[in-house]
Structure 1
Amino acid sequence: MECEKEVGNATYIILISGVSKGLGRALALEFAKLGHIIVGCSRNQTQLDSLQAHLSTISSLNHVFLNLDVCSNEGVKEMAQTVLQKVGCPHIIVNNAGVINESMKMWKCCVKEFDNVIDTNIKGTANMLRHFIPLMISNNNQGIIVNMSSIYGRTPGPMVSAYCSSKWAIEGLTKSIAKEVPNGITIVALDPGIINTDMLASHIGPLASAYQTSQEWATKAASMILNISSADNGASLTVDDPGILPIIKG
């Protein structure tokens, strides 16, 4: 980015999908504390209102939140124009919106649940890329895109085949697009590590409480994201101290 050498002083417009809870919310709060403008989307208006209220206590900037399902291509298209009109082109995009399937063997996972994971995690990310990359190109080829991956995007895991499939797809999608975007735009896949979130608890139950909190994680992740450079284009990155999952048997 043009302001790449001024990370400590520049104010960035940072777009986060799935912003209303978990890692998205934690990142929004951390970036806001650092003085950046947050743009976010989520399907849960109540949680968006809660985040907006929280941010108003720590930041006076004009943050923008939209009730949106990233699975809707038309919805994301409209959001891109709304964001452009209200605050301008995002400098950083974090494609964080994602869901996980209930822990079970693939052939026992119902079609609707499997499709929901694929639609949200892959197609939702694709919708964001489809409509925001052209804005970054128009903005003098500037921008950083972070596609949230997972340990399950690089290592196969039992009982979460839909989620695992979606995150392996994110890794491939990211590396392919890295070869397509013009110089100045950087796209990476980021394994956030293992964090105590509702999603993790749905997979490993009470064991989730042994891991770092989302806010502890966000302090490290925000700093890492702000320091991504063009040299990282196409990379598979991992936030420091990712943790180790317990052995899950099929």
Structure 2
Amino acid sequence: MNKLVVITGVTRGLGREMVERFHEAGWTVAGCGRSEKEVQRLRQQFGDQHHFSVVDVSVMEQVEKWAEETKAAVGVPDLLINNASIINRNSPVIGLAANEFSRVMDINVNGVFYVIRAFLPFMVQRAKGGVVVNISSYWGRYGEAFLSPYCASKFAIEGLTQSLAAELPEGMAAVTLDPGGSIDTSMLRSCSPEDVDTAPNPVEWSHVAVPYIISLGPKDNGKSLTCPPVRKRTN
């Protein structure tokens, strides 16, 4: 039976590669991103096999409309992955502008809440189980200098997920997932460029992460998980 995964932030990085792996695994993907150009590329590559939309997850009305359109087009998700996030420029707390902090929280926390609020009622109503995976970070469990907005946002996701897990009906699960160390993405290049040379890329990560995510179920409800180790390929 074909299964449906909803993924936010599919136009680049980890989200983009998760689309490829879920496609290879035979899942239908409903994904969103802010870049109209990149969403159009996904539509051109996959045609009608999947469902891609231009959505800013920090805007509640856009998320609610997306959820309704997704349900009508491809159904109710078996798996919901909140992947979309941004990172602040490296700065001490006292050097940050208020709008910099707010923008990170708007996408990384409010966006996750809006997506859960929009999709979860459909999943609960269907009464066939379902898993919510909120992408977290090592920096959502341990603070890092100069990245306070990002750390605060991911710490918030850990708490939100634990509360959600305690509220879900039997047979469902909500977990956080630390990607498992540094991955060579634009985010890493921005905040920690010294780690890029030793970090696996999103393709390598996705080959390990997606099978692991697919394996998650009710037994994992409420857990703060970390992706299994990913080895960087050497030439």
Q: Using structure 1 for the length normalisation, give the TM-score.
A: 0.89
* Structure 1 CA distance for aligned equivalents of residues 117 and 195 of structure 2: 38
> Does structure 2 conserve the Cα–Cα contact (< 8 Å) formed by 1:141 and 1:183?
no
Q: Deviations over 1:112-145 (max 9, x none)?
A: 1110000100000000011111000111152111
Indicate which of 77, 83, 89 corresponds to 1:96: 83
Q: Deviations over 1:82-129 (max 9, x none)?
A: 011001001111100100000110111111111000010000000001
Name the counterpart of 1:37: 28
Indicate which of 37, 57, 61 corresponds to 1:46: 37
Name the counterpart of 2:174: 187
> Does structure 2 conserve the Cα–Cα contact (< 8 Å) formed by 1:136 and 1:185?
no
Indicate which of 49, 52, 62 corresponds to 1:75: 62
| Structure 1 residue 206 displacement after superposition | 4.9
> Does structure 2 conserve the Cα–Cα contact (< 8 Å) formed by 1:16 and 1:24?
yes
How many residues get paired? 230
- The amino acid across from 2:205 in the alignment is W
* Structure 2 CA distance for aligned equivalents of residues 228 and 158 of structure 1: 32
- The amino acid across from 2:18 in the alignment is L
* Structure 2 CA distance for aligned equivalents of residues 218 and 55 of structure 1: 18
Indicate which of 138, 148, 155 corresponds to 1:161: 148
Indicate which of 177, 194, 213 corresponds to 2:164: 177
Name the counterpart of 1:137: 124
Aligned with 1:179: secondary structure?
A: helix
Name the counterpart of 1:234: 222
Which runs of no fewer than 5 residues in structure 2 stay unpaired? none
> Does structure 1 conserve the Cα–Cα contact (< 8 Å) formed by 2:42 and 2:52?
no
> Does structure 2 conserve the Cα–Cα contact (< 8 Å) formed by 1:141 and 1:182?
no
Aligned with 1:171: secondary structure?
A: helix
Aligned with 2:204: secondary structure?
A: helix
> Does structure 2 conserve the Cα–Cα contact (< 8 Å) formed by 1:25 and 1:51?
no
- The amino acid across from 1:195 in the alignment is I
| Structure 1 residue 167 displacement after superposition | 0.2
> Does structure 2 conserve the Cα–Cα contact (< 8 Å) formed by 1:29 and 1:55?
no
Which runs of no fewer than 5 residues in structure 1 stay unpaired? 1-9, 244-250
- Is 1:110 the counterpart of 2:101? The answer is no
> Does structure 2 conserve the Cα–Cα contact (< 8 Å) formed by 1:12 and 1:37?
yes
Q: Deviations over 1:14-64 (max 9, x none)?
A: 1100111000001011110111111001110111122233335xxxx6210
Q: Deviations over 1:169-204 (max 9, x none)?
A: 000000010000111221100001221000010011
Instruction: Please give the residue correspondences for 1:204-243 in structure 2 after superposition, counting only pairs within 5 Å.
Output: 204-241=192-229
> Does structure 2 conserve the Cα–Cα contact (< 8 Å) formed by 1:195 and 1:208?
yes
- The amino acid across from 1:18 in the alignment is G
> Does structure 1 conserve the Cα–Cα contact (< 8 Å) formed by 2:58 and 2:111?
yes
Same amino acid, percent of matched pairs? 35
Aligned with 2:99: secondary structure?
A: helix
* Structure 2 CA distance for aligned equivalents of residues 203 and 145 of structure 1: 27
- The amino acid across from 1:155 in the alignment is Y
Name the counterpart of 1:6: none
* Structure 1 CA distance for aligned equivalents of residues 110 and 11 of structure 2: 20
- Stretches of 4+ aligned residues off by more than 4 angstroms: none
Name the counterpart of 1:202: 190
